[in-house]
């Protein structure tokens, strides 16, 4: 079965968050499956370290793609990366679409990813190889479904769209589609791409939902939640209409990237087979490294923290409240995060300033891969108060690293964490509402657990004992591919 994944991220060479890890983890596992042959296509971002790619070569030297009546040259590269065959679209467009420092966050993001979608479809048309499954991810590649079906008539069996989030939808004007060779006005219909709330506006994610043969979300709970107005971001109506196409498949974790037994960022290694004492000692060593680097105290009180993008989804207010509450109880709080939203970043810079003389608070407002690994291992508890969480990877990482998650019971968090009320199987602490009372209660539960080492270690062990690998989810995807392809 020939599967082509089209996405905007691929970890670690192009990662902004969980999406990049999911693409690499799933593709790697699919590659190991005897019945699937998988390739991944993404933009050739200028920041990709080409030296980390194996057998990099040109696959198609020069092909054109249209925008605003002009033909622009592209080159398709191919390489091996993380045991996967990847294809990198080099867009030689005067706007320098992928010659940027970051993946997202530019005023022309819509044109950048529409250009990518159109050029990739053009490439697949030229290759003219039958594709059993075209697997698209989020709004960035959703328009490929339109180009493939309505414009270039690609030789494709079925199209699958995975919704990693419905928050970002790729809204645009009809002329934005005109620019890429489709008649945008013709899609301004309620049963096609018309945005459910903004008149005369197209919605690319909605288009993907309408055009795909199957839709997946990254956890079963999120598949249910997005059918409600609380979580659907106005797409709940169209999703409900197509709910027969919708299935939740829980994300796995790339257990090679996230392996405390071999993690190059950790000085002491451990895993499920280590004794409880060894796990504790490893974590103490990593606390010591953080303490030396940032002056954090080493008293016997819990270390609690968050490693996250700081966006409204992740509930910045509840992160701040937990910080205050932890400090009040003489615990240590660590926040490693950066915000793409200037006002939020500024707010946390102020908070950082406010706590600059508090030894038991570390606010590190940056994206730092190596520090993230160290923090995941050093913490006693990871704080994840998300307003919604399609799947979430940090709870999976933390459990594997022997750090107990405290999380809001939503989406993938609720599907992957078992509350410690269930002593035999519990892996973390769950709470329903992120209000002040629940925050205080949840942190109190964490502090109490910390003072009861036998139960604490049991819960920690249960978390480390979870199978969060891609084995099962990848099989679920293969079954889905086979079911839709028949």
Count of C-beta atoms within a 10 Å radius of residue 186: 13
Least distance from C-beta 255 to ligand ADP, angstroms? 13
The tokens describing 247, both together, are 């299935």
**Residue 21, interface with ligand ADP (CB under 6 A)?**
yes
Complex with ligand ADP: residue 247 or 373, whichever CB lies closer: 373
Three-class SS of residue 73? strand
Per CB under 6 A, 338 contacts ligand ADP:
yes
- Applying CB under 6 A, does 341 fall inside the site for ligand ADP? no
Which of 392, 405, 411, 428 binds ligand ADP (CB under 6 A)? It is 392
In the numeric block, the tokens 């995941």 are attached to 376
Q: Is 339 in the site for ligand ADP (CB under 6 A)?
A: no
Rounded Cα distance, 447 and 440, in Å? 11
Residues 6+ apart with CB under 8 A from 165: 138, 313, 390
Q: What span, in angstroms and rounded, lies between the C-alpha atoms of 63 and 71?
A: 9
Candidates 76-84, 301-309, 349-357, 427-435; binding stretch for ligand ADP (CB under 6 A): 301-309
Among 40, 124, 279, 336, binds ligand ADP (CB under 6 A): 336
Alpha helix (H) ranges present in 156-235? Answer: 174-178, 204-211, 220-225
Q: How many residues bind ligand ADP (CB under 6 A)?
A: 17
Which residue number places its CB atom closest to ligand ADP? 18
Does residue number 17 form part of the binding site for ligand ADP (CB under 6 A)?
yes
Closest of 122, 105, 111 to residue 173, by C-alpha? 111
Per CB under 6 A, the segment of 263-271, 294-302, 344-352, 366-374 that binds ligand ADP is 366-374
367 lines the binding site for ligand ADP (CB under 6 A): yes
Residue 43 interacts with ligand ADP (CB under 6 A): yes or no: no
Q: Which stretch binds ligand ADP (CB under 6 A): 51-59, 65-73, 367-375, 453-461?
A: 367-375
Q: How far is the CB of 464 from ligand ADP (least distance, A)?
A: 17
- Rounded to whole angstroms, how far apart are CA atoms 175 and 314? 34
Q: From CA 130, how far away is CA 146, in angstroms rounded?
A: 17
By CB under 6 A, name the one of 178, 317, 368, 419 that touches ligand ADP.
368
Distance CA 447, CA 196 (A): 46
User: What is the chain's length?
Assistant: 486
Given 146, 372, 382, 459, the residue binding ligand ADP (CB under 6 A): 372
Residue from the set 346, 369, 435, 451 that interacts with ligand ADP by CB under 6 A: 369
Q: How far is the CB of 285 from ligand ADP (least distance, A)?
A: 20
Whose tokens are 């010591």? That residue is: 288
CB of 386 to ligand ADP, least distance (A): 8
Cα separation, 166 vs 163, whole angstroms: 6
**Binding segment (CB under 6 A) for ligand ADP, from list 15-23, 270-278, 342-350, 423-431:** 15-23
| CB of 67 or CB of 217, closer to ligand ADP | 217
Strands 171-172 and 202-203: antiparallel
Nearer to ligand ADP, 365 or 440 (CB): 365
Complex with ligand ADP: residue 84 or 374, whichever CB lies closer: 374
- Quickly tell me which residue has 């790619």 as its tokens: 53
How far apart are CB 353 and ligand ADP at their closest, in Å? 19
Single out the residue of 166, 169, 138 nearest to residue 224, CA to CA. 166
Centroid of chain to Cα 349: 25
81 vs 148 by CB, closer to ligand ADP: 81
136 forms part of the interface with ligand ADP (CB under 6 A): no
Query: Among 402, 412, 422, 372, which residue's Cα sits nearest to residue 463?
Result: 402
The smaller minimum CB distance to ligand ADP, of residues 122 and 415, is found at 415
From the CB of 131, what's the least distance to ligand ADP, in Å?
Answer: 27
Strand (E) or helix (H) holding 284: helix 276-294
Spatial separation of the C-alpha atoms in residues 110 and 203, rounded to whole Å: 11
Interaction mask 308-327, ligand ADP, x per CB under 6 A: xx------------------
Q: How far is the CB of 372 from ligand ADP (least distance, A)?
A: 4
Which residue, 160, 161, 115, is CA-closest to 139?
161
Stretch that binds ligand ADP, among 25-33, 289-297, 361-369, 420-428 (CB under 6 A): 361-369
Nearest to 239, CA basis, from 270, 202, 264, 206: 206
* Site residues, ligand ADP (CB under 6 A): 17-19, 21, 307-309, 336-338, 367-369, 372, 392-394
């Amino acid at each position: 079965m020939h599967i082509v994944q089209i996405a905007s991220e691929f970890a670690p060479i192009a990662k902004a968050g969980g999406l990049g890890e999911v693409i690499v983890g799933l593709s790697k596992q699919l590659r190991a499956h005897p019945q699937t042959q998988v390739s991944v296509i993404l933009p050739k971002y200028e920041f990709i370290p080409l030296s980390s790619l194996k057998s990099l070569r040109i696959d198609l030297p020069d092909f054109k793609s249209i925008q605003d009546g002009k033909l622009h040259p592209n080159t398709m590269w191919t390489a091996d990366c993380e045991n996967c065959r990847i294809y990198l679209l080099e867009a030689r467009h005067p706007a320098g679409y992928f010659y940027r420092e970051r993946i997202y966050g530019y005023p022309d993001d819509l044109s950048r990813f529409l250009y990518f979608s159109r050029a990739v479809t053009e490439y697949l048309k030229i290759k003219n190889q039958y594709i059993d499954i075209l697997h698209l991810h989020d709004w960035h590649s959703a328009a490929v479904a339109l180009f493939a079906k309505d414009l270039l008539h690609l030789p494709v069996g079925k199209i699958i769209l995975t919704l990693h989030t419905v928050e970002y939808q790729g809204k645009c004007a009809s002329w934005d589609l005109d620019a890429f060779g489709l008649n945008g006005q013709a899609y301004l219909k309620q049963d096609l791409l018309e945005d459910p709330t903004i008149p005369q506006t197209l919605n690319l994610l909605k288009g993907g939902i309408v055009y795909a043969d199957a839709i997946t979300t990254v956890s079963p709970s999120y598949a249910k939640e997005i059918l409600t107005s609380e979580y659907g971001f106005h797409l709940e109506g169209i999703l409900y209409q197509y709910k027969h196409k919708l299935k939740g498949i829980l994300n796995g974790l790339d257990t090679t990237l996230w392996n405390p037994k071999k993690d190059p960022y950790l000085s002491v290694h451990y895993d499920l087979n280590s004794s409880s004492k060894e796990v504790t000692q490893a974590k103490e060593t990593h606390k010591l490294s953080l303490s030396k680097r940032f002056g954090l105290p080493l008293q016997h009180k819990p270390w609690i923290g968050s490693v996250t993008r700081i966006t409204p989804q992740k509930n910045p207010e509840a992160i701040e409240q937990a910080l205050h509450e932890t400090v009040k109880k003489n615990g240590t709080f660590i926040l490693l995060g950066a915000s793409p939203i200037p006002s939020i970043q500024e707010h946390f810079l102020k908070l950082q300033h406010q706590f600059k003389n508090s030894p038991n608070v570390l606010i590190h407002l940056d994206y730092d891969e190596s520090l993230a690994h160290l923090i995941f291992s050093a913490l006693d508890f990871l704080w994840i108060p998300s307003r919604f969480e399609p799947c979430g990877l940090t709870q999976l990482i933390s459990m594997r690293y022997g750090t107990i998650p405290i999380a809001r019971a939503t989406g993938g968090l609720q599907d992957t964490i078992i509350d410690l009320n269930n002593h035999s199987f519990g892996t973390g602490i769950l709470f329903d509402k992120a209000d002040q009372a629940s925050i205080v209660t949840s942190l109190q539960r964490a502090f109490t657990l910390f003072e009861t080492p036998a139960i604490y270690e049991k819960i920690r062990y249960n978390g480390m004992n979870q199978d969060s690998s891609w084995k099962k989810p990848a099989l679920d995807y293969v079954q889905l591919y086979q079911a839709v392809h028949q």
